Amino acid sequence: MAQADSRIIGSGTAASDKTVADVFAVFGGPAAFARTFGLKNPSTASEMKRRESISVGLWPAIVAEGAALNVEWLTYECLTLMHAKTSLLAGEIR
């Protein structure tokens, strides 16, 4: 299990400032993320990071592992906000 410090990792202090890259940083990068969440291929995690979109099916495990690591900002609400922002920037939501 990765060691995380919620005071250090992240692009900003508020949960609304967090990005998909911050989630990957909590778990030590794409390869460690893939191992932590049982992804068969690390490139799957790399693609999620590159696309700035984490599979919704992983969210429960991410939130649970974040809580175990005491990363207070890593919540369902935070994941939803970061993905909504990415969609807005890509012009997917009107």
pLDDT of residue 91: 60
8 A C-beta contact, residue 93 and residue 84:
yes
Residue whose tokens read 């460690």: 32
What's phi and psi for 52, nearest 5 deg? 60, 45
pLDDT of residue 86: 61
pLDDT of residue 94: 46
Distance (Å, whole) CA 73 – CA 90: 24
* Positions of the chain with pLDDT lower than 50, given as ranges: 5-9, 93-94
pLDDT of residue 12: 58
